[in-house]
Structure 1
Amino acid sequence: MTEPHCDPHPNPAGIKRVAVLTSGGDAPGMNAAIRAVVRTATSQGIEVIGVRRGFSGLHRGDFITLGPRDVANTLQRGGTILLSARSHTWRTPEGRARGARHLRAHDVDALIVIGGDGSFHGAHFLQEEHGIPVIGLPGTIDNDLYGTDHTIGYFTAVETALDAVDKLRDTGASHERIFVIEVMGRHAGHIALDVAVAGGAEEVFIPEDAKEVAGVLDIVRASVKKGKMGSIIIVAEGYPGGATGVAQAIQDGTGMETRVSILGHIQRGGSPVSSDRILASRLGEAAVYALMEGKSDVMVGRQNHETSFTPLADTWEKRKDVSRDLYRCAKTLSI
């Protein structure tokens, strides 16, 4: 066992070995979270097992040992060094039972899962059915998990989308076109709303507000009368019809040239910005300490600048709304 190199944290749970995996869609900052888990655990004399390819790798026993040097030079890297995958097998009791056997065969005392609500379902049922303590870290760019102000990867996704919006505004103004830009967010409009305000968009469409597209036509016409050379419309992918539907309605209603740009998975990639690196590092450290203290079946988050612990079931059963103040601000500033 690795000797601790800093003051020991209370460990009434007797944790000696933890496993960590990343699951679902990758998010910038996942590597920073893995690094924090490994180095915090090592500092407390706890060994770390990395599970490759998420729950798919867990039920196959695809394990590697991780030490401080194995996570060196990963803080700035996008994606996940442990790889990720979606597993249909893990959705079955038999798949989870097999994964539990692999964990016990490797003397793993607890599991840390970095992912979204689907990943948290898998973690929750593992503990419920097999008694293996689990902790979740919110790794999803959509920022749609209840129990944390922000999720790992969200800040980077917003910056990536905003950079694209700035570039498209230049070309939109040059050609006097309307650009309808679709950002990620299947069930939540957090990315769309932040990008709309920071990018000076004329309108934003989010799943939380199923307003009619017809309402934007007057806004576009008014923009033209005010001398605007081009307009930017932001659409979350979860809005009914998406960017394509919105663009078609605008073109049919105004006769103006309209272009669609779907940013897609480009928002998942790239080096994480500082806010994601810091958030992931704090959450990774907190996850290890939480397991040592005996906490489990919870997600570690940050709310009002404090570490918080939310039951995993609450993260998908309770809804996290967008900021209505920011939504109002987007409308006010779009004139």
Structure 2
Amino acid sequence: MSLSVIYNFTESWIFCKDKNRTNCTELSMRMETTSSLSDTMFVFELFQSGLIFSALTAGLVSICHVIYCRAIICRNSSLLLVLILTGFCHMLVCVYLLQISEQSALYEIPNGGHQRCTDYYLPATLANTIILASIVHNIIRLNVKSMVCAGIVWAVSVGSIVVGLLCLARLHEFSPPVMQQETFVSLGRSNETHLDVFWSVCKKEVYAEKIRLLAEYGLIYIPVIIIVLFAWHRSFKRNKDASLLRIRIVDTSCCDDETDLCVCSRLGPTFVAVLAYSAVILLIARPVMIMYAHATSGYFRDILPSLLHTVMYCFICSEYLSRALRYQTRFNAVGYVAKDKKRKVVLHV
């Protein structure tokens, strides 16, 4: 959602006479190529806008449904609401920043003068930190038996995450990132015609970002890794199964599995998948991209954290809505009413 397109055509009028039909043919071919590229980019922009609208709609529906379920007392709704609401707000912020960049670029000459670009680093880091801290909180609550030990582990891990986030904010305030203002990339360039694609994401200098990266990985991600490995070890001792899906992230103590209508335990693998996505992108793909940039140009576009959070948000919304619809449909079909309770069995998440 950080890529936009701006079309810039420079055409030289060539008078087609009988002696100059070759030039006319070349110009016609160039215009057809550029037109094809512009159509492709327009379709991409339309597709991008449709995805953004669909994601925001799905998030709004999910938030309303979670709040409704929370009103009927569902144990895991708080975690789910925090994750979806964080993703929804992150997407709104990114769309707002993208619109500002597009409006600014419309009044500037491509490849000339000051070109405004946007840094999505802080919103993405804040959103990812909230999600990881929420999952870590649930893991500690469900996997550490002693209240004293749980409080100590929670204070150390979550405290480190909060300190890391504050350090990144202060570093960004007093030492703004060094960025290269190359936002226009030309496609289909020829002598007379070219198409400019506008990237709203700035290029940041790798060497200048080393302190931020050390603070981010050392204070935010390492505590998360330690807590997840601890929960994984506890799960292996309890179940003798090394699968990550066995990690306890959601509380299933309130589930009445006899009715087959309680889905509060069904979203555990979804949160494990969120952790797996985060590990692959933040611990493998992003460091490889930064090292490659350091070995080549020295600049990189730090867009992976923002894309990661967008993908996680869409994944959580789709999983929640699909499961909620499935089990609500089953509930309506069965029409189960608890015999020992006066209230109707509700959908647990």
Which interval holds the TM-score relative to the shorter structure? under 0.3
Question: As a proportion of its length, which structure holds more strand?
Answer: 1
TM-score normalised by L of structure 2 = 0.27
